[in-house]
Structure 1
Amino acid sequence: MAVIEIQAKTMLATIAHPDGIFGLKYNMNLYRGCQHQCIYCDSRSACYEIENFNQDVLVKINALELLEKELARKRVKGVVGTGSMNDPYMPVEKRYNLTRQSLELIARYGFGVHINTKSDLVVRDIELLHRIGRVHATVAFSISTTGDDLSRKIEPGAPPSSARFEAMRTLSANGVTVGTCMMPILPFLEDNPENITAIVEQTVAHGGSFIMPWFGMSMRDRQREYYYQQLDRLFPGLRPKYEHAFGERYECPARNAKTLSELFYNLCERYGLETSVPQKMRKEAAQQLTLF
């Protein structure tokens, strides 16, 4: 993929009504496009206006300057999320270090952070995450299958699921709150009890304390077109099942979503897992952290 440097206008987006799952107050994207090239990625959709998603990754080279100015101006501290539109630890991060330097700013100004990632590169920043954890630091590894063979097919540019679980273990052992973002669950590929059970049990075994589920996927315009092309290439004969089951629908639930949901929540209760990101943001801790 081509790497293109661009100038951004702003960095932090304020979330007016934080949801009960992630608990974010702000969101940031340091890059546009993603080298992980997951075949199902919603960021290909036309509404996000990311042209050449499959060829280019755009680097916001003024991101740190903008972020520091915006953090300094914020009167209300909160959790900054990253990883919604692309992976903050995709390979280009090794070159530009925007995520690492952003974490340094977040720590300096006393904000919390939540990271969604498919990469074990996050382990590089353990010390920073531990420091931010005095306020709030959580990492969710996006994992929808425990099988490395399948993960390599559907997420060809990302480390396999086993590497993500090992990174989860390492972060947990060093005091970072970690868990799994079990989204999406691809119909006809991942929507079976064995897969859901394995994800829950592997999360527990590797020190995770939460799992956020979604039993299905979304599809629209360019995203659907690309996904179907990849189904034809990787899983011949599967595309007609999708077309028959979902047509042009945006939300495409798993075939047995209710059954899988019941299984999932029973397993989480058994193992003591939360089903949203634990909220640890404390005003007094944020104020204390700015003194360091």
Structure 2
Amino acid sequence: MEPARLPEERRRGRGAALNKTGRFEPLSRESFDDGWDSLEDLPPLQTHVQEERARTIITRNESPDISFDRSINPYRGCEHGCIYCFARPSHAFLGLSPGLDFETRLFAKPNAAQLLERELSKPGYTPRVIAIGTNTDPYQPLERRYTLMREILEVLENCAHPVAIVTKSSLVTRDIDILARMAERNLVKVALSVTSLDRKLCRAMEPRASAPHKRLGAIKALSEAGIPTSIMMAPIIPALTDSEIERLLEAAAEHGAAEAGYVLLRLPLEVSELFRDWLLRERPDRYQHVMNLIRSMRGGKDYDAKWGERMRGRGPYADQISKRFSLAAKRLGLNLRRKKLNADDFVQPQKGGVQLNLF
């Protein structure tokens, strides 16, 4: 049976075509064509934003696969609409769909900076690098209105706290003034995630993220301002973007990137169906080849969340990608020195809503 896709006129400029009910909901609702063309009369989907008064802002993790143990997400959901985004299933915890809801029904945390200052001021807090951009993009279009990321950076700069940022948006250059000052104190590094140099493919795959040349331009602007900048090829999609590994790293090096990394395509939970549906719509001739290669690197499944393998996969094709990437990076002088940020100069805030000592 064909999946219940929303008409193209309604979802123009969006990544997903499906909007199935979240997996935790007792009832399942799905739009379908009843033969009367009733869906064609509905207006295009709009982005709706709900403000959320969060109680905490620093999220902790114990994953052995990543280099940080804490992160911040000022927004939930992401208007970039990247079809492969591994964060999509998190929208189900809000009673929403990981499909179109994830990119059209967003949440902003206007008290993010105040919460951060309060949490950094707690007795016993030990500073380590905070990662931002790990779940949803902090510089998605919504940031132009809310400026939550800039407020967070101001807090981190004031207390000399290190931060690592990942984004697909050239909007990050708006904050070059703060980032450059932090870079002088070895407090920040920024990674631009670039999946492909093919503008048509990017437009279909990540419709509201900055165009590839804009992201490369951001790498150049940041590096020229003295900010340590890297490229993340996240994700690499076999038989779709892996042919660009060398060209993409060359472009990044030419624009001033000093480091490079990658993540193999991950398809957890609902992301698998969303991605497969997208592939059938946008690249039907590649569908079988792409999925066969993915399964060859995931133990015969669409995804395997096993520690140590979920980011890179396993098997001959995964090894080939790893070797190609490392050889290209070495040839271009990338990753010669991994930047280690400074946490020794941290000054704990004295005004964060936490009661001070009497004496």
TM-score (norm. length: structure 2): 0.73
Which one of 255, 272, 286 corresponds to residue 238 of structure 1? 286
1:227 matched to 2:271: no
Query: Cα distance 1:277–1:113, how it changes in 2: closer, same or farther (>3 A)?
Result: farther
Residues of 2 paired with 1:111 and 1:18: CA distance? 23
Report the counterpart of residue 34 of structure 2 in structure 1: none
1:212 matched to 2:212: no
Q: Is the 8 A contact 2:279 2:287 kept in 1?
A: yes
CA deviation after TM superposition for structure 1 residue 190, in Å: 0.8
Deviations 1:159-179 (A, max 9, x none): 111100001000000000001
Residues of 2 paired with 1:165 and 1:196: CA distance? 15
1:273 matched to 2:324: no
Report the counterpart of residue 58 of structure 2 in structure 1: 12
Q: Is the 8 A contact 1:2 1:56 kept in 2?
A: yes
Report the counterpart of residue 99 of structure 1 in structure 2: 149
How does 1:142-161 map onto structure 2 within 5 Å?
A: 142-161=193-212
Q: Name the SS for the 1:180 alignment partner.
A: strand
CA deviation after TM superposition for structure 1 residue 196, in Å: 0.6
Deviations 1:212-254 (A, max 9, x none): 123x311132111111221122112333334545264314859
Amino acid at match of 1:106: L
How does 1:195-210 map onto structure 2 within 5 Å?
A: 195-210=244-259
Query: Cα distance 1:224–1:288, how it changes in 2: closer, same or farther (>3 A)?
Result: closer
Residues of 1 paired with 2:55 and 2:76: CA distance? 13
Q: Name the SS for the 1:230 alignment partner.
A: helix
Deviations 1:4-55 (A, max 9, x none): 1112121012345776x6x434210000000000011111125862523132
Please identify, of 172-181 and 263-272, the stretch whose mean Cα deviation from structure 2 is larger.
263-272
Q: Structure 1 or 2: larger helix share?
A: 1
How does 1:42-191 map onto structure 2 within 5 Å?
A: 42-45=86-89, 49-50=93-94, 51=96, 52-73=101-122, 75-133=125-183, 134-191=185-242
Amino acid at match of 1:249: D
Q: Is the 8 A contact 1:27 1:81 kept in 2?
A: yes
Residues of 2 paired with 1:176 and 1:289: CA distance? 25
1:261 matched to 2:307: no
Query: Cα distance 1:121–1:54, how it changes in 2: closer, same or farther (>3 A)?
Result: closer
Amino acid at match of 1:209: A
Please identify, of 141-150 and 88-97, the stretch whose mean Cα deviation from structure 2 is larger.
141-150
Residues of 1 paired with 2:267 and 2:284: CA distance? 19
Query: Cα distance 1:218–1:286, how it changes in 2: closer, same or farther (>3 A)?
Result: same
Amino acid at match of 1:226: L
Q: Is the 8 A contact 1:181 1:211 kept in 2?
A: yes
For the aligned residue pairs, the C-alpha RMSD in angstroms reads 2.6
Amino acid at match of 1:259: Q
Q: Is the 8 A contact 1:46 1:221 kept in 2?
A: no
How does 1:272-291 map onto structure 2 within 5 Å?
A: 272-274=333-335, 278-283=339-344, 285-287=345-347
Please identify, of 237-246 and 88-97, the stretch whose mean Cα deviation from structure 2 is larger.
237-246
Amino acid at match of 2:106: V
Q: Is the 8 A contact 2:121 2:348 kept in 1?
A: no
TM-score (norm. length: structure 1): 0.88
Amino acid at match of 1:10: T
How many residues are treated as equivalent by the alignment? Answer: 284
Identity %: 31
1:249 matched to 2:298: no
Extract unaligned runs of 5+ from structure 1.
none
Amino acid at match of 1:131: R
CA deviation after TM superposition for structure 1 residue 94, in Å: 0.5
Query: Cα distance 1:125–1:174, how it changes in 2: closer, same or farther (>3 A)?
Result: same
Q: Structure 1 or 2: larger strand share?
A: 1
Residues of 1 paired with 2:215 and 2:341: CA distance? 23
Report the counterpart of residue 24 of structure 1 in structure 2: 68
